[in-house]
């Protein structure tokens, strides 16, 4: 006789944070965006006793059934790597990373085909209760890792379409904390109010944001142009600043202006990320000048963050 042990459910999973590089706001309208996963991760574990669940973890529990629902009720997630020492969120998509890690652990798999629909629906449901449903780009980054081009091709409940990409050779991305957390739901609401009140103005400015994202997408890949990628990121920063000006909200802040003054002599571009208005600023530089740029930023009191692109998406086990 032979016997086999029942499969053991995994006890830990993790998922990376993200930086939305291009196409912010317009990705909500169906335009393409570029997002990268970064080397700070949310870690989910099964607790011995059911913990108090955040709204995002409650949404994961409600999105699954059977054994997966039982496991989801026991998931505890540590997102401290996506915050500073005081616990302030850094704008790296901690809620999406937590949602993805929890969904994968509940389902017992890191298979994107299974995790993406659950995590997308759960995160969207929790965000909707806060008044900002979001695009789902951060969820995609947490699932797939690396550099992604994402696009909404279905309804709100459908995961974004994902195409893997890579930066062109010769480009370095440097992340800098602006010192100011962004209120993403409020910023998104203000920009959406511009769309509703002055649609022609919004459409003109959104087209600039989308065009800069498209230029960046064309520059991606091993045969892509580093100079074109850096120029596209600079154009995206200017487009977001103009969109914020029309909406009456500062998406480009004094911190971005300070960063640009330091970065320009190195041939680098500066851009807000995500909703703008704070959180992480992105500096795109020629790779052969990135070391000197980092030193100059630190000397100016704008220390670069210890971040890199994480090629890994969600992991389980």
Q: What is the DSSP string of 178-245?
A: -SS---HHHHHHHHHHHHHH-HHHHHHHHHHHHHHHHHHHHH-STTS-HHHHHHHHHHHHHHHHHHHH
Q: Give the residue among 299, 189, 307, 305 at the shortest CA–CA distance from 247.
A: 189
Residue 180 lies in a domain: yes
Residue 226 lies in a domain: yes
Longest dimension (CA), the chain: 75
Residues 296, 272 contacting (CB under 8 angstroms):
no
- 134, 155: one domain: yes
Residue 70 lies in a domain: yes
- 229, 293: one domain: yes
- 144, 220: one domain: no
What is the pLDDT, as a whole number, of residue 177?
A: 94
Q: What percent of the chain has pLDDT over 70?
A: 96
- 96, 200: one domain: no
Residue 192 lies in a domain: yes
Residue 24 lies in a domain: yes
- 180, 154: one domain: no
What is the pLDDT, as a whole number, of residue 9?
A: 64
What is the pLDDT, as a whole number, of residue 5?
A: 45
3-state secondary structure of 115: helix
Residue 306 lies in a domain: no
Nearest-angstrom CA–CA distance, 75 and 103: 9
Residue 317 pLDDT class (50, 70, 90 cuts): confident
Structure tokens at 218: 């064309």
- 136, 281: one domain: no
Average pLDDT over residues 7-23: 88
What is the pLDDT, as a whole number, of residue 8?
A: 55
- 162, 267: one domain: no
Residue 2 pLDDT class (50, 70, 90 cuts): very low
Average pLDDT over residues 63-81: 95
Place of tokens 């670069």: 304
Residue 87, CA atoms < 13 Å, CB-side half-sphere? 1
Place of tokens 């965006």: 33
3-state secondary structure of 283: strand
Residue 2 lies in a domain: no
- 292, 223: one domain: yes
- 19, 162: one domain: yes
How many residues does this entry show for the chain?
A: 317
Average pLDDT over residues 101-111: 96
Q: What percent of the chain has pLDDT over 90?
A: 84
Question: Could you tell me which residues are beta bridge partners of residue 38?
Answer: 17, 309
What is the pLDDT, as a whole number, of residue 33?
A: 98
Residues 159, 117 contacting (CB under 8 angstroms):
yes
pLDDT exceeds 70 at position 3: no
Nearest-angstrom CA–CA distance, 256 and 270: 7
Which CATH number covers residue 184?
A: 3.30.70.890
Residues 297, 262 contacting (CB under 8 angstroms):
yes
Q: How many domains does the chain have?
A: 2
Query: Based on C-alpha coordinates, what's the Rg of the chain?
Result: 20
The C-alpha angle with vertex 134 and arms to 132 and 136, in degrees rounded to 5, equals 155
Write out the residue range of the structural domain in which residue 187 sits.
171-299
Residue 118 lies in a domain: yes
Residue 191 pLDDT class (50, 70, 90 cuts): very high
pLDDT exceeds 90 at position 278: no
Which CATH number covers residue 153?
A: 3.30.230.10
pTM of the model: 0.93
Residue 6 pLDDT class (50, 70, 90 cuts): very low
- 52, 87: one domain: yes
- 160, 19: one domain: yes
- 201, 116: one domain: no
């Amino acid at each position: 006789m032979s016997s086999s042990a029942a499969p053991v459910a995994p006890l830990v999973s993790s998922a990376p944070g993200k930086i939305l590089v291009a196409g912010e706001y317009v990705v909500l309208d169906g335009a393409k965006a570029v997002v990268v996963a970064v080397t700070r991760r949310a870690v989910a574990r099964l607790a011995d006793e059911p913990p108090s669940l955040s709204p995002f973890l409650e949404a994961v529990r409600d999105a699954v059934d059977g054994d997966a629902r039982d496991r989801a009720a026991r998931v505890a997630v540590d997102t401290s790597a996506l915050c500073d020492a005081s616990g302030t969120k850094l704008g790296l998509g901690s809620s999406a990373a937590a949602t993805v890690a929890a969904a994968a652990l509940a389902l017992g798999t890191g298979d994107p085909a299974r995790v993406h629909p659950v995590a997308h629906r759960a995160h969207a449901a929790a965000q909707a209760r806060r008044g900002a449903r979001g695009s789902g780009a951060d969820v995609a980054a947490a699932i797939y890792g690396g550099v992604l081009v994402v696009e909404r091709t279905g309804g709100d409940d459908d995961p974004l379409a994902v195409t893997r990409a890579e930066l062109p050779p010769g480009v370095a991305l440097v992340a800098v904390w602006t010192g100011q957390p962004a209120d993403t739901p409020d910023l998104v609401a203000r920009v959406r109010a511009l769309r509703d009140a002055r649609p022609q103005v919004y459409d003109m400015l959104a087209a600039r944001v989308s065009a800069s994202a498209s230029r960046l997408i064309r520059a991606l890949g091993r045969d892509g142009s580093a100079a074109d990628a850096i120029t596209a990121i600079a154009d995206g920063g200017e487009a977001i600043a103009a969109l914020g000006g029309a909406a009456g909200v500062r998406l480009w802040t004094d911190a971005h202006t300070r960063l640009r003054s330091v970065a320009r002599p190195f041939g680098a571009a500066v851009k807000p990320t995500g909703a703008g208005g704070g959180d992480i600023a992105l500096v795109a530089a020629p790779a052969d000048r990135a070391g000197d740029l980092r030193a100059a930023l630190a000397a100016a009191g704008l220390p670069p963050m210890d971040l890199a692109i994480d090629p890994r998406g969600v992991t389980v086990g």
